[in-house]
Structure 1
Amino acid sequence: MKVRTEKFDVVVCGGGLAGFCAAVAAARNGSKTAIVQDRPVFGGNSSSEVRVTTHGSAAFHSYARETGIISELLIEERARNHEEINENGWTNSVWDMTMYDMAMSTPNLEVFLNTTVQKVNKLNERTVDSIVCHILNAEVELTLQGKVFIDCTGDGIVADQAGCEWRIGEESYDEFKEPHAPKEASMNVMGSSLHFKAIDMGKPVPYEAPDWINHYEDASFFYKHGRPLETTGFKENDRYRGGYWWIEIGIPWDTIHENEDIRHELTRHTLGVWDWIKNKDPELKEIAKNYALEWIGQVPGKRESRRIMGRYLMTEHDPLTKKDFKDEVAFGGWNVDLHTPGGLLAPSSEPAAMEGYKVVSDFQRKTLCGPYAIPLNMMISKDVDNLMMAGRNVSATHAALGTVRVMGTTAIMGQGVGTAAAIAINQGLTLPEVADQQIDIIKQQLLRDGCFLLNTKNNDPKDLALKAKIKGSSEASCTGVGPNTIGVHKGLMFWKTQHQTAKSDKLTERRGQWIAVGTKPIDKVGVYLTNNSNEVQHVVSKILKVDDIWDYSYEGSKELAETTLEIAPGESQWVQWEVNLNQSNGLPNNGYIRLDLLKNDDVEWHRAGKIEPGQVCGFDIGDRMRRYDHGISMSYSVSPAQNCYSPENIISGYTRPYRHTNLWRSDENSLEVPWIELSWDVAVNISQVELTFPGNILREYHAYESFYRDSQCAKDYSVEAMIDGEWKELFKVQGNYQRQRKHQLKENIQTDRLRLTIHSTHGDPSAAVYELRCY
């Protein structure tokens, strides 16, 4: 056995999305970082070994997709990958190599794959000194010393060996009064899953099952107990030949110590499900006759085990009430998704599946949450001062874990702790000290690195752009959108299992359209409707002032106007309403209002042919709204045209629609090549320019096709500075598709004017920018 010892600033244990983003963040922020991963590839549950596709807040909220490092990775994978992405089982090794490429290209980061943590050494009771690892297939014992350790192992291996307190299982209702906590505490945890993928061979392919599999004989096990087989998927578009999350087993096995037993049992059941599809299901056996197994996983995707106790314990109340945390470093927005203990061994599956994934139900009302803030202190160990954690092993109750555990969320949690670790080391502080004393610096760095925080905007004193005057070549205005308005949405799809659209857009429930307001009054609004009856119909319409695009409330919201619209019989008609709103009677400046139409089954409110940026819609699920059909715009008009895409938006401090559009868009009818310019009264020194373009945040990762480049994103652009009375080109970029770009100049320049010119996009006729920073 060869023995090696190496020293690092930050040692990250675990190479799933949380650990990977933590390691890259720490390294990018100047810390010498090691990442230890016990598998040959990065990605954890998202890797090609397990193939759980990345979910997050955008599954439930428009424009809520996670950004930062995870966004870079997912944008890159879609741009590179020839294969479509769908539900679990569809990940291929292009994703593995996208992550590996980033790791190998990141300065200050050293990679240790196929390396397992064996032991933790401590300097004293509250300080970890080093971890002892074994490199598989190399006969190497590796000791890694560090200043900060980050446990992203899922099972909390490092924290456990360091003597940290942890919890496992369900808390009782009496402990925290959580809505989804059981009456009695238990050791129940969510289970693990194996996935498979099948391929169409173009001719009948038999399947002969081994004797040792689990044999299913009863159709009701699937169709009456919340285990849908998506029988229409094979027929429609060949997209659903795998990905059954409910092939899940946990208790009575121990998800930590009996993981291999779970793997073997899951294999028996997974092949049993395929045997049912191929040979027994009355409908599917004919549909799937040409299908053969292409891949079956052998690494269980684990959902839950130890949860390490931090300086703060998140309970279910925090996401449900959207608690404001001063130490926010990430956000979440998945629902409280608690799988039924036992999985396949339980009488039935989880409540949402049992309901057939209804979008309106008592269960949905009780579990939908967010977007909500996630605090740093739930990721700092309460027992060890140089230990953090990110991923499913964070300091949360079982019920709270139901929402924070999904990988899009854990990835940005990882970037939060990696950034905090680097700043603590740079400033010579302990983790508790940096959380208490320097949280504003951490948050500002996260924003600069592309992340989004609910209650924090860019006010970085070093950002010279915040002191500049802004002007653009032109400015788009918004008069609304109609059914025949053309949008450029090539490659942007709907993900079938979250698809909410009925056969029409009839007003079977209250529906609302968010409308971005600039600085002008609103004299009139209109909606495009069809009256399907033979009589005049009446629809109550209201205009509400809302805080942001995720303000789903209507009871208690400030009502700015109300009327009853009269709709004559007939199809496709604009119905106008004079509202006469201005700042004196409550119309916000640079904010949002919501136009709500109340229920009338005989009336249809038509969707628009274009998704107007930052202006989406929702529908009533009882006492609140939720997103309507993935983030689309309904047909509406507003007069006068609203100046909601002004150049000044690039220094609003936010890089996505939120409390306003926060977006500059050029006028698509202008003949001038679009540009946006910053000017200062006194010349400034600039060495770095940082840009954030629109794209890739409206919907979840699954909605984007292979080789996707977002139409709104700048493809070819250049930056110039006024130097000695002339415009001098500082750099030019061609073929870009990433959302955020940072450009270090070849030399420091002094200027009082800087101009970004966007020569082309990936299809959108308007150029657009969320943020431009200068340092």
Structure 2
Amino acid sequence: MENKATPREIYEKHLKQLQQTLLWEDASVIGIKNEDPADLALQAEVTASSYLSRLAVESADEAFELATDVAFLMPVDPNIEKIQILLDAADDTSVEVEVWDTGRQENYIPYQLQVRDVQTIKKGNKQWIEFNLPWSPESTQNAFVVIKENPSVSVYLSHQPMSGVLSFVREKALNVARGMESLNHDQLVVKWNMKRVVRKPFCFRLATETKAYEPAKIMDGYQRPYGGAHMWLSEPSKDDAWVALKWDKEVEFNEIHITFNDDVNEDLINLHHHRTEFDVIPELVRDYRLEVFEKGNWRILFEVKGNRQRKRKHTLENDVRTEQLRLVVEQTNGTAYAEIVEIRVR
């Protein structure tokens, strides 16, 4: 409408504008970054009350026998050195772990083997076993970490999800939803299945710190997982968490968009027989406020209670001039982390 163009002409002459417009409305456009020149947030420095730098899943809630290969996907930013995995061993045995890349940033399958390690372990329960798995990819991306089959060994699942981390089981028989029985089991996207382990990460911890959840991630242009989670996570805390934008000079705006994490991996459909254990995605921020820094103090622009949405748009009646804008997270819908995908300012 704006360009008075046909669909073909939009593709030929205005494709980038279309893509950026779709992103502005939170459409899923794989691999395309926000590069909107009108987005003042892209010009700001980002700081936060804290960010999650230690990637670890340590709450062991359910043993899972290694009757087949299992795997977990995790962000590598910037590298891996050692990974510790929690396991039981019924006998003295050995355990093999492999690290694969995923080929393409949007893929959740093993593509090319990068490194493997085998460790000999003693009989015993709940042992943290360290595997030497050094990998420094040229760019940040996901790793597909495979724990090889061993019936004498059980690993552990946590019932506390970790954003950016997914679990998989290499199913020996087709395990798909009703109506999907015609799928080819030899395809990796079918063979490596999440159905039994949705929102249940395997227990592991990294020996080195990660930058996968640092505050700057909310400005990297990606609104969906793509070779990483692309979101800010605070450290777990009972206190308010905040993320702030600071400009070199005063900017003027009247519109703020916030994208919260609503776990886009969750299978949400409107069939009455299909329900989650929760009414609201736990990772969504529930209570928050938006503030600007004026005359040495923070002034509240908007205060929201009971949020249930991924995308929130806040429009001001009059333009605001400031050098700092802050989003303060008071409460989530269940998770221990404040989780923000993106902030936009116009």
Give the TM interval when normalised to the shorter protein.
Answer: 0.7 to 0.9
- Percent identity over the alignment? 24
Q: Among residues 74, 78, 85, which one is paired with 1:527 in the alignment?
A: 85
> 1:510 pairs with 54, 69, 76, which one?
69
- 1:621-671 deviations in Å (ceiling 9; x for gaps): 5573523223431111111232321111111222233311111111114x6
- The alignment's TM-score, normalised by the length of structure 1, stands at 0.39
| 1:704 counterpart = 2:312 | no
Q: Kindly state the Cα deviation for residue 588 of structure 1 after the two structures are TM-superposed.
A: 5.3
Superposed, 1:300-379 pairs within 5 Å as: none
How far 1:740 sits from its partner (Å)?
0.5
Residue 551 (structure 1) aligned with residue 117 (structure 2): no
Please give the alpha-carbon distance, in whole angstroms, between the structure 2 residues aligned to 1:652 and 1:640: 23
Aligned length: 322
Assess, with a 3 A threshold, how the Cα gap between structure 1 residues 755 and 564 changes in structure 2: closer, same or farther. Answer: same
Distance change in 2, residues 1:571/1:451 (3 Å): same
Kindly state the Cα deviation for residue 677 of structure 1 after the two structures are TM-superposed. 0.5
Q: List runs of 5+ in structure 2 lacking aligned partners.
A: 172-185, 269-273
Equivalent of residue 570 in structure 1, options 112, 124, 142: 124
Deviations 1:685-737 (A, max 9, x none): 1110000111252321234257x122221111111112344422211111111
Aligned residue type for 1:704 = T
Whether the 8 Å contact between 1:761 and 1:767 is mirrored in structure 2 is yes
Alpha-carbon distance in 2 for matches of 1:527, 1:729: 45
Give the SS at the match of 2:229. Answer: coil
3-state DSSP of counterpart to 2:207: strand
Partner in structure 2 of residue 677 of structure 1: 244
In structure 2, C-alpha distance between the alignment counterparts of 1:606 and 1:562, rounded to whole Å = 20
Matched, 1:603 2:153: yes
Q: Report deviation, 1:558.
A: 4.5
Q: Is the 8 A contact 1:693 1:713 kept in 2?
A: yes
The whole-number CA distance in structure 2 between the counterparts of 1:474 and 1:721 is: 19
CA distance in 1, matches of 2:342, 2:243: 11
Once the two structures are TM-superposed, the CA of residue 679 in structure 1 deviates from its matched residue by: 1.0
Contact 1:545 1:587 in 2 (8 A): no
Residues 143-193 of structure 1: CA deviation (Å, up to 9, x unaligned): xxxxxxxxxxxxxxxxxxxxxxxxxxxxxxxxxxxxxxxxxxxxxxxxxxx
Query: How much has 1:676 moved relative to structure 2?
Result: 0.6
Q: Which residue of 1 aligns with 2:39?
A: 463
- Greater share of residues in helix: 1
Q: 2:167 aligns with which of 599, 613, 617?
A: 617
In the alignment, residue 574 of structure 1 is paired with which amino acid? W
Map 1:358-437 onto structure 2 (within 5 A): 425-437=1-13
Q: C-alpha distance in 1, partners of 2:14/2:106?
A: 30
Secondary structure at 1:650's aligned position in 2? helix
Q: 1:439-479 deviations in whole A, cap 9, x for unaligned?
A: 22222111111221212121111111111110001112233
Change (3 A) 1:633 1:703: farther
Residue 483 of structure 1: CA displacement? 4.1
Contact 1:549–1:592 (CA under 8 A) maintained in structure 2: no
Q: 2:325 aligns with which of 754, 757, 768?
A: 754
Query: What does 1:227-306 align with in structure 2 at a 5 Å threshold?
Result: none
Asked if 1 retains the 8 angstrom alpha-carbon contact of 2:65 and 2:155, the reply is yes
Are 1:763 and 2:319 matched, yes or no? no
**Aligned pairs for 1:716-731 within 5 A:** 716-731=287-302
Which residue is equivalent to 1:633? 201
- Report the 3-state secondary structure (helix = DSSP H, G, I; strand = E; otherwise coil) of the residue aligned with 2:160: coil
Whether the 8 Å contact between 1:482 and 1:607 is mirrored in structure 2 is: no
Distance in 1 separating the partners of 2:13 and 2:86: 54
Alignment check: 8 A CA contact 2:31 2:222 kept:
no
1:37-82 deviation line (CA, Å, top 9, x unaligned): xxxxxxxxxxxxxxxxxxxxxxxxxxxxxxxxxxxxxxxxxxxxxx
User: Does the 8 Å contact 1:514/1:549 carry over to 2?
Assistant: no
Give the match's secondary structure for 2:254: strand
The change in CA–CA distance for 1:740 and 1:449 in structure 2 (over 3 A counts) is same
The aligned amino acid for 2:120 is E
SS in structure 2 at match of 1:611? coil
With a CA cutoff of 8 Å and minimum separation of 6, indicate the structure with the bigger relative contact order.
Answer: 2
Give the deviation of 1:505 after TM superposition: 2.6
Equivalence for 1:479: 55
The AA in structure 2 aligned to 1:578 is N
Greater strand share, 1 or 2? Answer: 2
CA 1:627–1:682 in structure 2 vs 1: closer, same or farther (change >3 Å)?
Answer: farther
SS of residue matched to 1:505: strand
CA separation in 2, counterparts of 1:549 and 1:446?
Answer: 19
SS at match of 2:88: strand
- Per-residue deviation, 1:600: 1.9
CA distance in 2, matches of 1:565, 1:549: 31
* 3-state DSSP of counterpart to 2:20: helix
CA contact (8 A) 1:517 1:588 kept: no
Counterpart amino acid of residue 246 in structure 2: S
Q: Give the distance between the partners of 1:460 and 1:756, measured in 2 at CA.
A: 21
Task: Give the Å deviation of 1:482.
Answer: 2.7
Partner AA of 2:329 in structure 1: I
Alpha-carbon spacing, 1:461–1:692, altered in 2? closer, same or farther (3 Å): same
Instruction: Pick one of 28, 38, 42 that aligns with 1:452.
Output: 28
Distance 1:457 1:762, change over 3 A: same
- Mapped to 1, the partners of 2:309 and 2:30 lie a distance apart of 23
- Equivalent residue number for residue 688 of structure 1: 255
The answer to whether the aligner puts 1:440 opposite 2:12 as a matched pair is no
Matches of 2:50 and 2:215, distance apart in 1: 9
Query: Using the alignment, how far apart are the partners of 2:316 and 2:307 within structure 1?
Result: 18
| Structure possessing the higher radius of gyration over alpha carbons | 1
- Letter of the 1:691 counterpart: I
Amino acid aligned to 2:149: K
Distance 2:328 2:53 in 1: 20
Normalised TM-score (structure 2): 0.85
Measured against aligned partners, the alpha-carbon deviations of 1:306-344 in whole angstroms (never above 9, x if no partner) come to: xxxxxxxxxxxxxxxxxxxxxxxxxxxxxxxxxxxxxxx
1:739 and 2:295 correspond:
no
8 Å CA contact 1:465–1:774 kept in 2: the answer is yes
Mapped partners of 1:454, 1:758: distance in 2: 28
- 1:323 alignment partner in structure 2: none
SS in 1 for 2:293: strand
Shift of residue 429, structure 1, vs aligned partner: 1.1
2 CA distance for matches of 1:446 and 1:712? 24
CA separation in 2, counterparts of 1:643 and 1:481? 16
SS of the aligned residue for 1:426 comes to coil
CA contact (8 A) 1:481 1:609 kept: no
Q: Is the 8 A contact 2:75 2:227 kept in 1?
A: no
Question: Which residue, 206, 209, 212 being the options, matches 1:644?
Answer: 212
